[in-house]
Amino acid sequence: MAQKRQLQNGDTTWVVRWRDESGKQHSKSHRSWADAKRHEAGVRLDRKAPEAPLRVDDWIDAWLDRQQSSTRHGTHRQQLSTVDKWIRPTFGGHQVRNVKRADVQAWVTKELVPNLAPSTVRTVVSNLAAIMNAAVDDELIAASPVVRLALPIVERKDLDIPPPAQLDAVRVELPENLRAVFDVMRWAGLRLGEATGLTVDVIDFDRLELDIRRQLLSDPTRIGPVKSRTVTRRRVPITETLAATLSDHLDQFRTCRLDGVDLVFTTTRSCSPLTGVSWGRAWRPARDAAGLPDDFTAHDLRHCWTARTVAAGLPVPIVARFLGHSDGGSLVAKRYSHLMPDSTDQLREMLEEFEAGTV
């Protein structure tokens, strides 16, 4: 245990004492309590260290096994891809306890920054941080080397909402059986997986609502819970027009039975679930034909819905609830605050009423 010592000159030091394998006692003084604790942890880990030092590759395997049981399927697949492509090639052969902060910074500077977008760099680094933090928790290392790194700044681009006529043009270019998928993302703000995973039983034609509680997952294709762990179900209002579109779609196209429920949207040839791959094959030509940029994705239709509801004055917490966010609206407020109606005149009128004593 680190012990505090007061020197004659008034300075304070922290002393760590320990015995080696032969029983000989050692001690070392540190200027700060934090340095002493790190040294103490290192001594404790050295005593526990296995005869064959643990390689990063082996520790990653153990970490991924744990993640599989506690992480969403899609997230776990992304972790596997990130680890195999960017982390194992550089650090896999290292001993876990020999990875230093300087090594991590060099990897970021030389390997990640020249090849990846700033946001992706941060995602890859966060995966390595999680791996090393787990090693700290398991007392394999005293402290994580993934700290105090110089990372690229992520510059958020302004949301460019296409005019309605351009979005209408995209819809026209899509195959008939996919137009209603486009509509539920555009007019109900659903994620792609929620749209392709829409089932007949969640459409309430009387109340004009969608009861969103599932999504379509891939590899293997199956029905699963929605993305959010805390907002596992939400009811999203729809217009009579969208309800009529969904009704017409069900009259015209067959449904697909999967995991005990009937999927609304399917492929026309085999009447199989509409996966993200199948959607992408139809989406990209339609998007290009309408003149939208290459980086405009199906998820941007959700951004369009959010931007228009915020601009129309719908309270941010309500917008967030319909989106399935669990943060009470902080993300929506941060991303779309510039679209909120100007309330300056409303505040001025309110203050004038206060002064006049009319309220």
pLDDT digits (tens, 9 = 90+) for 19-76: 766 667 778 887 777 777 776 766 666 655 555 579 999 999 999 988 877 777 778 8
Whether pLDDT at 252 is above 80: yes
Assign 263 a pLDDT band (cuts: 50, 70, 90): very high
Whether pLDDT at 328 is above 60: yes
Can you tell me the distance from the alpha carbon of 163 to that of 170, in angstroms, rounded to the nearest whole number?
A: 11
More confident residue, 188 or 355: 188
CATH among 2.60.120.330, 1.10.443.10, 3.10.290.10, 3.90.1640.30 for 164-291: 1.10.443.10
Assign 142 a pLDDT band (cuts: 50, 70, 90): confident
Can you tell me the distance from the alpha carbon of 137 to that of 96, in angstroms, rounded to the nearest whole number?
A: 13
Q: Percent of the chain at pLDDT above 90? A: 64
pLDDT digits (tens, 9 = 90+) for 86-103: 999 999 999 999 999 999
> Residue 24 contacts by C-beta under 8 Å, 6 or more apart in sequence?
none
More confident residue, 72 or 132: 132
- Coil, strand or helix at 6: strand
| pLDDT at position 337 | 81
- Per DSSP, the residues of 78-130 read HHHHHIIIIIHHHHTTSBGGG--HHHHHHHIIIIITTTS-HHHHHHHHHHHHH
| pTM > 0.75 | no
Name the least confident of 120-124, 135-139, 172-176: 135-139
The mean per-residue pLDDT over the stretch 105-112 comes to 97
| pLDDT at position 21 | 64
3-7 LR contacts (CB < 8 Å, sep 24+): 4/33, 5/29
Name the least confident of 80-84, 163-167, 227-231, 344-348: 344-348
Whether pLDDT at 165 is above 60: yes
| Angle in degrees, CA 89, 144, 33, rounded to 5 | 160
End-to-end CA distance of the chain: 66
pLDDT digits (tens, 9 = 90+) for 298-325: 999 999 999 999 988 899 999 999 999 9
Can you tell me the distance from the alpha carbon of 254 to that of 265, in angstroms, rounded to the nearest whole number?
A: 8
Whether pLDDT at 359 is above 80: no
Whether pLDDT at 343 is above 90: no
Assign 279 a pLDDT band (cuts: 50, 70, 90): very high
The mean per-residue pLDDT over the stretch 252-258 comes to 94
Fold for the domain defined by 56-137: DNA polymerase; domain 1 (1.10.150)
Assign 270 a pLDDT band (cuts: 50, 70, 90): confident
DSSP 148: S
Can you tell me the distance from the alpha carbon of 18 to that of 102, in angstroms, rounded to the nearest whole number?
A: 28
